[in-house]
Amino acid sequence: MRNCCALEDQINSSYLNSMYEARVLLKRAKEAQNVLATFSQKKIDYIVESMANAGFKAAQRLAEMAVEETGFGKVADKITKNIIATRELHEYIKDMVTCGEIYRSKNGKFIKIATPMGIVVGLIPSTNPTSTLLYKALIAIKSRNALVVSPHPKAVKCICEAANIMQEAATKAGAPEHIIASLSRSTREGKRELIKHPLADVILATGNCSIVKEAHSSGKPAYGVGPGNVPVIIEKSANISKAVADIITGKTFDNGTICASEQSVICERQIHETVIDEFKQRNAYFVNQEEQRLLENYMFPQCCINSEIVGKSPQFIAKRAGFKIPEDTTVIIAILKGVGEKYPLSAEKLSPVLSFYIEDGIQGLRKRAFEVLQYGGLGHTMVIHSSNQEAILSILAQKPAFRILINTPSSFGAIGVTTMLAPAFTLATGTLGGSITTDNITPKHLLNIKRVVYETVPINDENGKRIR
């Protein structure tokens, strides 16, 4: 049954190209989804629980495969991501009503009926490959959709394996075959065929700007999530020890590969020396001017991020950049004076490297956070560490971010681990980031809702006489 990542042997090998594979997978998925759409809530819930259990059991193996294939991140943290994408996500969605009637007004004259969208086409990144596949598979099946994905070229094997695990678990629990599938090769032609094919109903794109832009340009409904350049404000009333610990915890999680990980620390001048000391006590390394220059040249050659540094350790990055840091270094920090192309380290870094700003008062904090969000993080996430509610409200006013996290690690808070946000690996950015929603994407976003309404304010009476 392990065939969701390749066509059957009898298909003539001369036709085994990505575009043909995409068409066949979509055709099979459509046939399977037509069957799945008839399933009851009870049957769907049983299938989803079986899938979540299978993904949870495979969390370590998939994490090891992802690190080996991509070279990004840490096995232990990818295990955690896989657990979040299965067990914790299932706990959140298990009681969610997604089949048939989902609402009826007290008078019975307004009814909502949930129907699946059809085939979800998923674009899967290399930074969180297996966790994103597991997550998308669960929310697709929970809403009675099929899922066909295009894997990132650096993560084809681990993504296909995760798809296999989800498909097998679903089938054993009673789902039709081919309800979850992945292209066996990653090509531009195959991806484009998937997202533009008439059988594709909605696109769930997680990745870089070009991938998200392509999804939104496909002519299909799409949820796209690109980069997040997350500013983290430390206001003078903050619990400094906890704030610094949270920042390091969030930034070092899987070596900074989550798009919601902290990128720039914006510290109020009144406390900056204490904050810097706290970072140093927690083994953060502050670069000097020459080391900063080396870091910028290595990490952002020609103003574009060097993919070699993604998800790598501070020691790896420093060595390749040309300077030495202690073996116990947790994060590398550069103190900057501006944001933009002249300051490459002010961009999203996808690694345990932070920029650091020292600003005067609430106005200074607000202004710098706004600049950071404008430079590659519109609509995504920002963090405020403060114990002053008035200051928090003043700082967050008119900020172009739709996840504003208070006193928590950004990586964990944005994906719903330490907050009440929905557990998710696709975090929409609203119209500011080119998305139609600001939510963490859940099964509810993959439903079409019928509204059945009875007349409540008649125009004519029973005899046809106009009364209004």
- Whole-number Cα distances in Å, 153 to 89, 150, 219, 435: 26, 9, 24, 24
Determine the Cα angle at 249 with ends 248 and 254, to 5°.
105
Sign of the torsion angle spanned by Cα atoms 387, 390, 391, 397: positive
Mind giving me the DSSP string for 228-297? --EEEEE-TTS-HHHHHHHHHHHHHGGGG-STTSEEEEEEEGGGHHHHHHHHHHTT-EE--HHHHHHHHH
SS3 content of the chain, % helix, strand, coil (to 5): 45, 20, 35
Q: Among residues 171, 170, 164, 127, which one has the least CA distance to residue 149?
A: 164
Strand-pairing partners, residue 385, are 234
Residue 416: φ, ψ to 5°: 85, 15
Q: Among residues 349, 231, 371, 230, which one has the least CA distance to residue 298?
A: 349
* Residue environment code for 123-150, b if the CB has 16+ CB neighbours within 10 A, otherwise e: bbbbbbbbbbbbbbbbbbbbbbbbbbbb
Beta strands across the sheet bearing 285-286 = 285-286, 332-335, 353-359, 262-268, 230-234, 379-385, 401-406
Rounded distance between C-alpha atoms, residue 302 and residue 287, angstroms: 21
- The structure tokens listed for 110 are 């307004």
Rounded distance between C-alpha atoms, residue 267 and residue 118, angstroms: 47
How far separated are the first and last CA of the chain, in Å rounded?
64
Task: Show the DSSP H helices in 253-409 as ranges.
Answer: 272-281, 289-299, 314-321, 361-374, 389-396
Determine the Cα angle at 278 with ends 276 and 283, to 5°.
95
Q: Which of 259, 267, 303, 304 is catalytic?
A: 259
Report residue 164 CA to chain centroid gap.
Answer: 21
Work out the number of other CB atoms within 10 angstroms of the CB of residue 10. Answer: 5
Establish whether 259 is a catalytic residue.
yes
Rounded distance between C-alpha atoms, residue 274 and residue 269, angstroms: 10
333 Cβ partners below 8 Å, 6+ apart? 265, 279, 284, 285, 286, 287, 353, 354, 355, 356
Which residues carry out catalysis? 259
